[in-house]
Amino acid sequence: MNDFSQIALLLGGFAIVAIASNQLSKLFRRIKLPLITGLLFVGIISGPFVLGLIPVSARQDLGFISDIALSYIAFAAGAELYLKELRDRFKSIKWITVGQLVVTFLLSGALILLLEDYIPFLQTLSPNKKIIVAMLSGIIFIARSPASAIAVINEVRAKGPFTSTVLGVTVLKDFIVIIMFAIGLSVSVALDNGESINVFSILIVLAEVAVSFGLGFLLFFLLRILLALNLAPWVKKTLLLFSGYSIYLLYALIKTLTVRYFGKAFLVEPLLICILGSFLVTNYSKYRYEFLRLLKDIGPPVYVTFFTLAGAVLALDVITQVWVATLVFFLIRLLAIMVGAYVGGVLAGDPRQYNRIGWMPYVTQAGVGLGLALIVARTFPEWGFEFATIITAMIVVNQVVGPPLLKYALSKVKEAHPKANSPGFDGIRDAIIFGLESQSIALARQLKENNWEVKIATFRQDVVPGDYPDLTIKVLNEISLESLHGLDAEHAEAVVLMLTDEENLKLGNLIYEHIGTKDIVVRLNKRLNMAKFHELGALIVDPSTAIVSLLDHFVRSPQAASLLLGMQKGQDSMDLEVLNPNLHGIPLRDLRLPADIIVLSIIRGGQMLISHGYTRLRLGDVITAVGSKESLERLSLRFEG
Last residue of one domain, picked from the residues 357, 381, 412: 412
pLDDT tens per residue across span 574-609: 777 888 777 888 887 777 777 777 777 788 766 777
Say if residue 456's pLDDT is above 60: yes
Same domain? For 382 and 471 the reply is: no
Question: How high is the pLDDT of residue 348?
Answer: 80
Domain span holding position 466:
430-541
Cβ proximity of 222 and 236 under 8 Å: no
Spatial neighbors of 556 by CB under 8 A, at least 6 apart, are: none
Last residue of one domain, picked from the residues 541, 569, 600: 541
Same domain? For 589 and 461 the reply is: no
CATH code at position 581 = 3.30.70.1450
To the nearest 10°, report the CA torsion of 191, 194, 197, 200: -120
| Average model confidence (pLDDT) across the chain | 80
Say if residue 1's pLDDT is above 50: no
pLDDT tens per residue across span 345-376: 888 887 888 888 888 888 887 667 777 887 88
Residue 48 lies in a domain: yes
Same domain? For 485 and 588 the reply is: no
For residue 471, the 8-state DSSP code is: S
Helix (H, G, I), strand (E, B) or coil at 628: strand
Helix crossing, 384-412 with 367-379: angle to 10°? Answer: 170
Same domain? For 396 and 487 the reply is: no
Say if residue 160's pLDDT is above 80: no
Same domain? For 526 and 583 the reply is: no
For residue 591, the 8-state DSSP code is: S
Same domain? For 108 and 253 the reply is: yes
Taking CA atoms, 137 is separated from 14, 54, 92, 250, 400, in Å, by: 30, 28, 25, 27, 20
Same domain? For 107 and 222 the reply is: yes
What's the whole-number mean pLDDT along residues 218-233? Answer: 89
Residue 417 lies in a domain: no
Residue 169 lies in a domain: yes
Residue 420 lies in a domain: no
Same domain? For 287 and 358 the reply is: yes
Residue 424 lies in a domain: no
Cα–Cα distance, 49 to 58 (Å, whole number): 13
What percent of the residues of the chain are helix, what percent strand, and what percent coil, each to the nearest 5? 65, 10, 25
CATH code at position 194 = 1.20.1530.20
Same domain? For 407 and 442 the reply is: no
CATH code at position 449 = 3.40.50.720
Same domain? For 295 and 407 the reply is: yes
Enclosing H/E stretch for 408: helix 384-412
Last residue of one domain, picked from the residues 510, 541, 572: 541
Same domain? For 505 and 578 the reply is: no
Cα–Cα distance, 358 to 361 (Å, whole number): 7
Per-residue burial over 511-546, b if 16 or more Cβ lie within 10 Å, else e, is bbbbbebebbbbbbbeeebeeebeebebebebeeee
Cβ proximity of 399 and 551 under 8 Å: no
Residue 457 lies in a domain: yes
Q: How many domains, the chain?
A: 3
Cα–Cα distance, 236 to 46 (Å, whole number): 32
pLDDT tens per residue across span 375-405: 888 788 888 888 888 888 888 788 778 778 8
**How far is residue 550 CA from its own chain's centroid?**
35
Residue 547 lies in a domain: no
Question: How high is the pLDDT of residue 172?
Answer: 78
Same domain? For 301 and 396 the reply is: yes
Spatial neighbors of 424 by CB under 8 A, at least 6 apart, are: none
β-pair type (622-628, 571-577): antiparallel
Reported as a pLDDT band with limits 50, 70 and 90, residue 641 is low
Say if residue 448's pLDDT is above 50: yes
| DSSP per position, 497-547 | E-S-HHHHHHHHHHIIIII--SEEEEE-S-GGGHHHHHHTT-EEE-HHHHH
**Closest Cα partner for 133 from 112, 160, 147, 152?**
112
Residue 507 lies in a domain: yes
Cα–Cα distance, 154 to 116 (Å, whole number): 40
**Closest Cα partner for 491 from 459, 455, 542, 445?**
455
What's the whole-number mean pLDDT along residues 408-430? Answer: 75
Helix (H, G, I), strand (E, B) or coil at 490: helix
Which of 101-105, 216-220, 621-625 has the lowest average pLDDT?
621-625
